[in-house]
Amino acid sequence: MPTTGNYFHLHLVSDSTGETLITVARAVAAQYANVTAVEHVYPLVRSQKQLDRVLDEIEEAPGIVLFTLLEKDLVARLEAKCRDINIPSLSIIGPVMQLFEAYLGAATTGRVGAQHVLNAEYFKRIDALNYTMMHDDGQHVEGLEEADVVLVGVSRTSKTPTSIYLANRGVRTANVPLVPGIPLPHQLQALKKPLVVSLHATPERLIQVRQNRLLSMGADTPNDDYIDRQAVTDEVAYARKLSAKFSWAQLDVTRRSIEETAAAVLKLFTDRQRQRFAE
């Protein structure tokens, strides 16, 4: 049987960090709502001895095997083992590399973990992360003009996690909370270079997220304005009014994941950069 009950074993074998494998595997596994993948992740598999342990575990818990290995001897052993015990295996990057090679007419370098080298792009991401952590939740507003993107929004509109996700893509991102009764920093009102994006959600969604937040903190404040229906509705209206006043880009995050929100912000940012370049 390919599965036991409502789960199956998924072996992810990589000679690097395994991030590519995990991302692809989870994207596909998410399409199967009635079955759960039990992940076995094996990063930094670069020797025959390391592969021995992997093969033993695969044999103990047979399932689907996905891999990103560049060493041909390791690939051959892994595929042979999978054939012997009659389980499927697939190289995630193999077909893509073959396509590149055919189109470019050049062989690959075979460098393991080449995407993680300490190049200019890597240090750009580190700089963006440092900037973002320093400018989280309205801190150091005097440096907002140095941002690529500034996210604004009321509490629980995913400003911080979205900022960190964008920073990991090399986008210097600050975020500033919008709180009724508290004046906006004048630095925010005077921004010229950064793209300002106002994140919105429905009152119902905000109340749900805030209630979960309070429960996780062990708080018990049922009458607090933080989750009061009218108070939250007023907050949302206040944020939308400010967005219209300052012509900020607006993004509804009610039904968006952090990744989807970040992708939408990146598109706005890229479109703006392209427009400025054209001018």
Q: Do residues 138 and 91 share a domain?
A: no
Residue 162 annotated as binding site: no
Residue 154 annotated as binding site: yes
Amino acid (1-letter code) at residue 156: R
This prediction has a pTM of: 0.76
Residue 16 annotated as binding site: no
Q: Do residues 249 and 159 share a domain?
A: yes
Torsions phi, psi for 210 (to 5 deg): -70, -40
* The predicted structure's pLDDT at residue 114: 60
Q: Do residues 85 and 199 share a domain?
A: no
In a domain, 109, yes or no: no
Distance between CA atoms of residues 137 and 96, nearest Å: 41
175-194 pLDDT, tens digit each: 999 999 999 999 999 999 99
CATH number at residue 41: 3.40.50.2300
Where does the pLDDT of residue 79 fall: very low under 50, low under 70, confident under 90, or very high at 90 and above? Answer: very high
Residue 155 annotated as binding site: yes
Residue 156 annotated as binding site: yes
Q: Do residues 123 and 258 share a domain?
A: yes
- DSSP readout, 212-267? HHHHHTT---TTSTTS-HHHHHHHHHHHHHHHHHHT-EEEE-TT--HHHHHHHHHH
Q: At what angle do helices 48-60 and 72-84 cross, to 10 degrees?
A: 20
* The predicted structure's pLDDT at residue 33: 85
Q: Do residues 100 and 181 share a domain?
A: no
**Nearest 5°: CA angle at 253, between 260 and 133?**
75
What percent of the chain shows pLDDT beyond 70? Answer: 92
Quote the number of domains for the chain.
2
Domain around 233: 117-278
In a domain, 139, yes or no: yes
Task: Pick the range with the lowest mean pLDDT from 23-27, 211-215, 233-237.
Answer: 211-215
127-176 pLDDT, tens digit each: 999 999 999 999 999 999 999 999 999 999 999 999 999 999 999 999 99
* The predicted structure's pLDDT at residue 222: 56
Q: Do residues 129 and 265 share a domain?
A: yes
3-state SS class at 45: coil
Q: Do residues 23 and 52 share a domain?
A: yes
* H or E segment to which residue 91 belongs: strand 89-91
**Measuring CA to CA, how many Å separate 130 from each of 107, 133, 158, 210?**
37, 5, 19, 28
